[in-house]
Amino acid sequence: EAQVTQNPRYLITVTGKKLTVTCSQNMNHEYMSWYRQDPGLGLRQIYYSMNVEVTDKGDVPEGYKVSRKEKRNFPLILESPSPNQTSLYFCASSFAGGNSPLHFGNGTRLTVT
Amino acid sequence: AQSVAQPEDQVNVAEGNPLTVKCTYSVSGNPYLFWYVQYPNRGLQFLLKYITGDNLVKGSYGFEAEFNKSQTSFHLKKPSALVSDSALYFCAVRDEYSTSNTGKLIFGQGTTLQVKP
């Protein structure tokens, strides 16, 4: 089944403790992206990747890192999480090209205390 | 700059009645437009897209959307609503001239659709 898989689904952590949220897609998509969803703010892009070893900042990249060493994986790294990073995170992927829809994972709900 | 507006936070409709969820957009060039649905504790699911051509686009689960270039709108419609359609709906746009981040979608704030029996 074609899908985007994120792990974990739920994560509670403390301020400053490094964490990684994994994302994997099995559709051979070139493009991958991370979004965060917050009430009243909709979805905002954190980072994106056009292909292997090509990553760039989205609209809200502060406090996050990503890597794209393989085409299928695009982990999101929080080196020193803070409470304002408490949010619902989505990984998404698509083929390159403007008319390709994004395919989303089921989300990771992160709470930072 | 690209932007999307969904003017209604919530839409209430009775089961069996037609529904409309509104969306307006702003882009520099021709738009690529999308509708997504989000059920509780799930990711966004793609419903339909407009690229070019017919102004009425048909998608999944009986949904359709009407593209109106002069009004820069892309309203989501369904002739007969079901209780199971209750969810959060997002409109999104991508500018055909957005070459630096060709995958980036700009999302509206979302509209909660509540269908009552």
Length of chain A equals: 113
DSSP chain B: --EEE---SEEEEETTS-EEE--EEE-SS-EEEEEEEE-TTS-EEEEEEE-SS-SEEE-GGG-EEEEETTTTEEEEEESS--GGG-EEEEEEEEETT--TTTT--EE---EEEEEE-
The kind and range of the H/E element at A23 are: strand A19-25
CB contact under 8 A, B43 and A106: yes
**Predicted confidence (pLDDT) per residue in B7-63, tens digit:** 999 999 999 999 999 999 998 888 899 999 999 888 899 999 998 888 999 999 999
Whether residue B99 lies within 8 A of chain A, CB to CB, comes out as no
Q: Please state, in angstroms and rounded to a whole number, the distance separating the CA atoms of residues A9 and B80.
A: 34
Closest-approach residue (CA) in chain A for B89 = A42
Q: Which of B55, B62, B66 lies closest to B21, judged by CA?
A: B66
**Predicted confidence (pLDDT) per residue in A43-98, tens digit:** 999 999 999 999 999 999 999 999 999 999 999 999 999 999 999 999 999 988 77
**Predicted confidence (pLDDT) per residue in A83-108, tens digit:** 999 999 999 999 887 788 899 999 99
CB contact under 8 A, B43 and A105: yes
Q: Please state, in angstroms and rounded to a whole number, the distance separating the CA atoms of residues B45 and A112.
A: 27
Q: What is the structure's pLDDT at B51?
A: 82
| Omega before A8 within 30 of 0, i.e. cis | yes
Whether residue B98 lies within 8 A of chain A, CB to CB, comes out as yes
Residue B99, pLDDT above cutoff 60: no
